[in-house]
Amino acid sequence: MAISSQYLLSSLLYCGKCGQRMQGSAAQSSKYFYYTCKNVLQRGKTLCDAKMVRREKIESFIIERLKSHLLTEKNILELVKLTNEEISNSEENNQEQLLAIENQTNDVQKRLDKLYSALETGALELSDLSPRIQALRKQMNELQAQRNDISIAMSESFIQVTKEEIGRYVQALRVLLDKGSIMDQKAFLRSFIKRIELQGNEVSIEYTTPLETVEKSPGNLEILSLVENGGPSVTRTRDLTLIRGAL
């Protein structure tokens, strides 16, 4: 049995027959590596008869799918656009928060002014007012810190990139998928992919973000055949050249 950290799709790949995760497993003194349904590994084929799949084949298939169909300049630019739209939508909330902070700051300042006035006129002693003044000053500092944090976040929000920068970013991501560490590759996959299911000869990929090749599919779902080239369909994409012999 090989450790899970050696398997790129651990925690992402699920059995399409029973819904259990597919775990890494080794055979012939760790000469060959596979993904196998957890039910099959722990209970045999009494609950599930899903077949195992070779690790290098399914992993290379997923990587090539991302590189050729998702890591495009158009998709990355769309991600930047979506991010900026989310930031724009939250800007109104930030403005409302700043207004609320400003009102609270004015209120605290008025209360401080009254206390200072009481000290100047001798109406109250410093020993009586000191705890209240300290508490209001602390509240003022906290409000100022909140205002600064929101202002900084707003000033650094929008992502401005050129077409050339997008191209370099896409290339860097492709290199990461080819030569990056297993931990970096895992983190990258999880930023794009929510779940992968393997059932028979089909791989279903559910993406975290609507992208160019799956934007019309319900739930950002893409279904790929492992063995045959089917007809045109919105949610079913066939790519025999990438996946021939994947099992």
Is 149 domain-assigned? Answer: yes
Distance CA 19, CA 197 (A): 8
Tokens of 152: 């900084």
Residue matched to tokens 């990929």 = 205
Residue 208 has pLDDT above 60, yes or no: yes
What is the overall mean pLDDT for the chain?
Answer: 78
Tokens of 36: 């196998």
- Report how far Cα 96 is from the mean position of its chain's Cα atoms: 27
When pLDDT is averaged across residues 89-101 and rounded to a whole number, the result is: 84
Tokens of 147: 């205002």
Quote the domain boundaries for residue 118. 74-155
Residue 240 has pLDDT above 60, yes or no: no
Is 90 domain-assigned? Answer: yes
Identify the pLDDT of residue 102: 94
pTM above 0.95, yes or no: no
Identify the pLDDT of residue 145: 94
Q: How does pLDDT run across 55-72, given as a tens digit for each residue?
A: 998 998 898 888 877 777
Is 211 domain-assigned? Answer: no
Identify the pLDDT of residue 118: 85
Is 130 domain-assigned? Answer: yes
Q: Coil, strand or helix: which one is 22? A: strand
Is 120 domain-assigned? Answer: yes
Distance CA 50, CA 29 (A): 23
Q: How does pLDDT run across 129-141, given as a tens digit for each residue?
A: 888 899 999 999 9
Is 182 domain-assigned? Answer: no
**pLDDT-based confidence at 159, cuts 50/70/90?**
low
Identify the pLDDT of residue 47: 87
Check if the beta carbon of residue 230 is closer than 8 Å to that of residue 238.
yes
Identify the pLDDT of residue 95: 86
**Percent of residues, the chain, with pLDDT higher than 70:** 77
Distance CA 208, CA 54 (A): 25
Residue 209 has pLDDT above 50, yes or no: yes
How close are the terminal C-alpha atoms of the chain, in Å? Answer: 20
Distance CA 87, CA 153 (A): 10
Q: How many domains does the chain have?
A: 1
Residue 223 has pLDDT above 90, yes or no: no
**pLDDT-based confidence at 113, cuts 50/70/90?**
very high
Is 137 domain-assigned? Answer: yes
Is 176 domain-assigned? Answer: no
